[in-house]
Amino acid sequence: MEKITSTWYAIAGSYLEIQCSTEFDLGRLLPSFADFKLGDDAVVKGHPITQVIVTKQAFGRSSKDAKLLSDISIVWGNRFKFFELPDVFVTTVAGTSKQETWFMESEKDFSKSTIYWIDDKEISGELLSWMIMVTFAQSAVFHNTILVHASVIERDGKGYAFLGKSGTGKSTHSRMWQASIHGAELLNDDNPAVKIESDGSVKIYGTPWSGKTPCYRNMVVDLQALVRLKQAPINQMEWKSGQQAFLTLLPSCSAIRWNQEIFANMADIVQNISTEIPVGELSCLPNGEAAKLCLSEIENIK
C-alpha cells in the first residue's frame, strides 16, 4: 500500500497542507518552501486554508461539460488552459514534450486541490510550486489575504511594495533602494502576500514565490505603501485616493476573475487595503534619486 505523508507550511499567517506519497521528495522539489515548513513538533492552531494532494494517478474526469475560461499565461504560454466543470475548476499545463499534460482539479473555493503529476524532470519542481501558488492565492482571498505581483523592500520592520507589469522595473527599483537607502533589504521580488489582520492592521509577508530572484523569507512587516511604477524621464510621485487607489492596486492581485465569489472577496480586500494604506504612482528613472524620493514621499504622507 502506498504510504502517504502530510507536510504543513505556514505562509502569511495561514496553513498549507501537502499530502503525497513518500516517494516525492518535497525538500528537493520545493526548495523555496524550506523556511516555511513546520517542524514535527510545531503546534498547529486551526485548519489549512488549502489542502493539496499530489498523486501519480491519471486524471479521469470527462471534458464533456468543460468550459474554457482562459488559455493565457505569462509563465506557460500556450501550454496553459483553465477550465470550469460543474463542480470544480481544472488547470492544465502541457509538459515539456507536450505529449503529456499536468492537471490540477480544485474545489470552487480552492480549499482542496489535487495535482496529477507526470514525470518531467525539466519543469517538475517549478510547475508543482506554481500550481500550489495558484490554489493558495485563490483560497487566501477567503482569509483576508491576497498575493500581489510586486517587489518588496523591508526596512526597520516596515514594508514598501512596488507594483507594475513585468518589465516595468520593479526589481531594479528595489535594487536602487538597497544601494541608496541604509537598511533596505529585499523581502520578496514577485509574489508577496498582503493580509488584513484581525486587529485591522495591514501586513506584508514573504512567501515561497519570488520569481527569478531567490528571496524566500518567512518574514512579516507593517505595510507602509503600495507604489505602482511608471518609466519616465523624471522622478515624480502622484498619490491616489478613492476609486483611483483601488484601480491602481487591483491589476496586481493574483486571483481569478471568472468566479464571482472569489473576485468579490478579492475586491473587498483591495478596497479595504486601499483605504488604509497609501497607494501611489511613481514616475521614475532607474536611479537612486528615485528610491530616495519614493521613501521621502511615503514618510511625508504617513
Q: Which domains does the chain have, with CATH numbers?
A: 4-143 (no CATH), 146-301 (3.90.228.20)
In the prediction, which pLDDT does 23 show? 87
Supply the DSSP string of 94-162, one letter for each residue.
E-TTSSSEEEEEEETTSSEEEEE----TTTHHHHHHHHHHHHHHHHHGGGTEEEB-EEEEEETTEEEEE
Task: Look over the chain and give the mean of its residue pLDDT values, rounded to a whole number.
Answer: 94
In the prediction, which pLDDT does 123 show? 79
In the prediction, which pLDDT does 164 show? 94
Beta carbons within 10 angstroms of residue 94's beta carbon: 18
- Determine phi and psi for 106, rounding to 5 degrees: -125, 140
DSSP label at residue 41:
T
In the prediction, which pLDDT does 118 show? 86
**Residue 93 to residue 260: CA distance in whole angstroms:** 24
In the prediction, which pLDDT does 1 show? 54
Decide: 202 and 223 in contact? Cβ < 8 Å: yes
In the prediction, which pLDDT does 196 show? 98
Task: Encode pLDDT of 51-94 as tens digits.
Answer: 999 999 999 888 788 999 999 888 888 899 999 999 999 999 99
The beta strands (E) that lie in the chain are given as: 4-11, 14-21, 50-55, 67-70, 80-84, 88-94, 101-107, 112-116, 145-147, 150-155, 158-163, 185-188, 193-196, 202-205, 220-231, 236-240, 279-284
In the prediction, which pLDDT does 2 show? 64
In the prediction, which pLDDT does 40 show? 80
Grid cell of 71 as nine digits = 488559455
**Residue 122 to residue 125: CA distance in whole angstroms:** 8
pTM for the model stands at 0.95
Under-50 pLDDT residues of the chain:
none
3-class DSSP state of 35: helix
**Residue 300 to residue 296: CA distance in whole angstroms:** 6
Task: Encode pLDDT of 70-79 as tens digits.
Answer: 998 888 888 9
Decide: 194 and 273 in contact? Cβ < 8 Å: yes
In the prediction, which pLDDT does 83 show? 94
